[in-house]
Structure 1
Amino acid sequence: MEARVAKFGIGQVVRHRVYPFRGVVYNVDPTFANTEEWWRSIPEEVRPAKDQPFYHLYAENTDSQYVAYVSEQNLLPDESGEPISHPQVDEMFVRTEKGEYRLRNKPMAC
């Protein structure tokens, strides 16, 4: 299996291709790295291939905020410019004047 370069980066805002949610990428797996049970719970006709990047998102929809794990094939860049209101975003990222998310500088341990 050949490794692919991730299309989206840490701090990028993305939206789901089908479902109405968006989020900030906080981690990337080069290929599927969740449980077989989780993967099989997805209906076979829409189940993503495992040999692509999968993204950990601080996600939100109109009703709630949550953590999502989404295949690259199901994500698109979010062009709305709207901030993400997930409570964990502010713990990990700083939103720049341009509306981008950058990792916070963490103090080094002594």
Structure 2
Amino acid sequence: MRNARFGIGQLVRHRLFNYRGVVVDVDPRFMLSEAWYQQVAKSRPPKEAPWYRVLVHNAVHETYVAERNLEADPGGEPVNHPELGQYFEAFSGGRYRATRRSN
């Protein structure tokens, strides 16, 4: 396994579907079911590379995306998503800052 290219709070763009979003979680490898992979991951991205949960801009859903299908979003504009407040407390310098959680 290699290091993830993107981090939590980073703005990304999907290379194939051209939507923007913000990373809310990073898995070091594919962590969903084989059935999901067969049905949804049509381009068959590698399972052993990082995968990301992304809140999609101007939508109410999130996606699970292989690293090879993402690129950094150069625009630096905030994302509009109803669940942003569950993950982040601020947006500054083109990046979201994660909410501090108490144990």
Provide TM-score, normalisation by structure 2: 0.89
In 1, are the aligned partners of 2:11 and 2:94 still within 8 Å (CA)?
A: no
- The count of residues paired between Structure 1 and Structure 2 equals 103
Give the alignment of 1:1-110 within 5 angstroms: 3-42=1-40, 44=42, 46-60=43-57, 64-106=59-101, 108-109=102-103
In 2, are the aligned partners of 1:25 and 1:57 still within 8 Å (CA)?
A: yes
Provide TM-score, normalisation by structure 1: 0.84
Amino acid at match of 1:78: D
Percent sequence identity is 41
In the TM superposition, what whole-angstrom CA distance separates every residue of 1:22-44 from its partner, at most 9, and x where no partner exists? 11111111011011111001365
In the TM superposition, what whole-angstrom CA distance separates every residue of 1:68-88 from its partner, at most 9, and x where no partner exists? 000000000001111101111
Larger Rg: 1 or 2? 1
**Alpha-carbon distance in structure 2 between the residues aligned to 1:97 and 1:23:** 15
Amino acid at match of 1:58: L
In 1, are the aligned partners of 2:28 and 2:49 still within 8 Å (CA)?
A: yes
Q: Which runs of 5+ in 1 are unaligned?
A: none
Cα 1:96–1:70 change in 2 (3 A) is same
Q: Which runs of 5+ in 2 are unaligned?
A: none
In 2, are the aligned partners of 1:11 and 1:100 still within 8 Å (CA)?
A: yes
Deviation at 1:91, TM superposition (A): 2.3
Amino acid at match of 1:11: G
In 2, are the aligned partners of 1:60 and 1:66 still within 8 Å (CA)?
A: no
